[in-house]
Amino acid sequence: MNLADKTNLRLLRAAIETALESVAEHHGLKLKTAGIRFEGDGAACKITLDVQNRDAKPKEERDFEKYLHFFEHEGLKAEHLHQSFTFNGNTVELIGLRPNAGRFPLIVRNNTTGKRICVGLSLVGKKGTNGQPTTL
């Protein structure tokens, strides 16, 4: 197998993921492969395993709770999590925080489409990007 060929690397990545799925499932883990690449005479692939816990909160929700104190001076409060508000004419729900995201650290989900959108802190009790007053 020529590992310098992108098509072969994609096929190899899929085969690795398929082979490891049963092991991950047996141990209650969630498997994800990412970024297989050619290296020297071989290839490297990143594999991440997460514990599947149905009661566990999503990472963005845990980050909201963990890093909230860094954003309180902007008006963000704990009660804003899972609260619905209007953004560009759509009803969205605040579902989490990306603390290192810079300009758009809030993660909201459009209640109609289910699409996730990253927005700025300017939405917290101030005018939104569309000029309409928006509060969480």
Listed by start position, the domains of the chain span 6-51, 59-134
Per CATH, the number for 59-134 is 2.30.30
Tell me the per-residue pLDDT of 50-99, one tens digit each, with 9 for 90 and over: 776 656 688 899 999 999 999 988 889 999 999 988 888 889 999 999 99
Cα–Cα dist 48/35, whole Å:
11
Phi (first) and psi of residue 8, to 5 degrees: -65, -40
Overall pTM > 0.75: no
67 contacts 81 by C-beta, under 8 angstroms? no
**24 or 55, greater pLDDT:** 24
Distance between CA atoms of residues 123 and 68, nearest Å = 15
Record the tokens describing residue 46, joined without a space: 């990143």
pLDDT digit string (tens) for 27-55? 878 888 887 888 878 888 888 887 766 56
Predicted pLDDT of residue 54? 59
Phi-psi region of 35 (alpha: psi -120 to 50; beta: other; left: phi over 0): left
